[in-house]
Structure 1
């Protein structure tokens, strides 16, 4: 298996692999280039995102600044919106459904590292160059979810469709569909139901 195949399969791999490093550097460069654009530079932004996140649907809007480790392993559904400081460490697959909204400072992190420092610390290749070993767990977020500001989602988590994750939450376990969940660690408060409907004021209808 290649190091990329190991990475996407959740196996231990060497992230210093030349193919992975090349894509990593490109994604970091594209992220930085995007961060140097303005809201009204739509054509330029779209071109950068097509290179950075090739697996995205229509209606994508990222406020910026953004940071992606690879971009290639993130899949975004229709009408996705992320506010400022959206960070995605997509060493594992990140899949986000349609009509999802993310507040500022949302972070999705798939990388995992050994708990024992003896395995976590840098090691040396035969040529003397240093590397670490890691593995990854995917993140999946269903349709129609809202992640409020400062939410962190860790590897291996699935958030079901229709969920709201409260501000400052750290999501370390799966969240069932249509849940209101908050806290660190994030826990389900209750189901979101028709009783939560808000009647819009006439002046904004």
Structure 2
């Protein structure tokens, strides 16, 4: 594997493990949404898993058509930098692309299962990167819905920034859930309940 790809993959691994550990620390509350229409921490994990699965499949498809890959230019570089910046800004929100929302299961699997699936997807990505042809490093391999075509390095940068963006979201969810837990709630039967 190319050294720069290896470093990016290591950063992605650390960020992913940190996010999963944060969500797992919530225990049963990982499936509790902080408010109506908001994702639970487990749903955030599921979203990232679906996104990474799709990215891996897209890259694999494009590698089969390697002779058709175009060179990445200055415009793509600038767009990828803007995407990185946008993902790092606090409280930036993006609407999930429709096709990604359609791929997301309605039911969230238990966290141990999500972790197992994500590890399998990550090992597949690692295999793709191990076999990634050096002559394609400057070629556009992944089409991001907002910034357009990205090289493999830019794609891994996006994946890392995507996980870090959602890490902040998970931390906000955890705070809201803890606040809710400390406040008694009246259930439908009038009995005081705690989350």
Q: Whose helix fraction is larger, Structure 1's or Structure 2's?
A: 2
Per the normalisation by structure 2, the TM-score is 0.25
Larger fraction in strand: 1
> Highest relative contact order (Cα 8 Å, sep 6+), 1 or 2?
2
- With normalisation by structure 1, the TM-score equals 0.24
